[in-house]
Amino acid sequence: MTQQGTTQPTCPRHPGQVAYVRCQRCERPTCAECQRPAQVGVQCVDCVKQVAKANPRAVSRPTDGKPIVSYALIGLCSLIWLGQLVSERVTDEMFFAPVLGASEPWRFITAAFVHASPSPMHLLFNMYALWLTGQYLEPILGRARFLALFLISAFGGSVGFEVLAALDVPRADAWFQGTVGASGGVFGLFLGVVVLNLRLKRDITPMLIVLGLNAVLSFLVSGIAWQAHLGGAITGAACAAVLNLRDRKLHWPGLAAIVVALAALAWMATKWVPAAWVNPIV
């Protein structure tokens, strides 16, 4: 478009509109209708669409940034640990062992809220890891999805412990051995960070180092239920993949499908061991 011999910039999407404002990304002229606010200046609607396509958000309803669920989980685990110090019955009613999975299935989840006592180190490590990952993941995923990621990963950790115990039939003690701790859920959060950052094209090196160190410790330090770590990590990766789907309508059905698959694995594990192990005579 020319006026008095001077060429005026026009919007590519609306050629009839003179546009003196330029997009901060592509530097093309953009009219008021095509302008979108950016952290610095404005961007055109085409650049905004390209960025959204290249870096889709995990969910469309982030929180206000306060990891309330993370704090609640930390508080609950801490209170239960104090209860363990008062009465051993708290641990007895909540720990998980494969032999108890069929008759008392709630233990698949409750085991994540009890920790080794009386030393606080087990609790402190898991709660610190939960705090670190929670303040990053919860604002991005949203509170409900973050809680689901943790709980389903904790369930997956217990299932992993049970399945690997069932496969180790020659060692009968593995089926009767108990486990406690939020490590399955925490490892699920670790993998959640990895999967999310891969999708967002962010650096995953720090989290891979954390996972590597924990893997080494799992085999060097006795008494660590690495089976639960593995089960939680695999489950967390699966949940995070579902939560990265663009269509939010698929998130909850996808998570429900993972829960059903875990329940099926737990049921199958009871079929791999002698019947007397599943319903022992007390």
- Residue 183 is a catalytic residue: yes
What pLDDT score was predicted for residue 87? Answer: 96
Lowest mean pLDDT, pick from 20-24, 144-148, 159-163: 20-24
- pTM for the full model? 0.77
pLDDT band for position 263 (cuts 50, 70, 90): very high
Greatest Cα pair distance in the chain: 99
- Residue 229 is a catalytic residue: yes
Overall average pLDDT of the 175-203 stretch: 93
Q: Nearest 5°: phi and psi at 6? A: -115, 130
Where do we find the tokens 């993998």?
A: 191
What pLDDT score was predicted for residue 161? Answer: 96
What pLDDT score was predicted for residue 54? Answer: 62
- Active-site option among 70, 115, 183, 251: 183
pLDDT band for position 9 (cuts 50, 70, 90): confident
What pLDDT score was predicted for residue 59? Answer: 43
Specify which residues 43 forms β-bridges with.
36
Other C-beta atoms closer than 10 Å to the C-beta of 257 total 13
What pLDDT score was predicted for residue 40? Answer: 55
pLDDT band for position 124 (cuts 50, 70, 90): very high
**What pLDDT, in 10s, does the model give residues 230-245?**
999 999 999 999 999 9
- Active-site option among 115, 122, 229, 251: 229
**What pLDDT, in 10s, does the model give residues 29-78?**
888 778 876 655 678 888 877 766 665 544 434 555 689 999 999 999 99
Overall average pLDDT of the 90-116 stretch: 96
Domains of the chain in start order, with CATH, are: 2-54 (no CATH), 68-278 (1.20.1540.10)
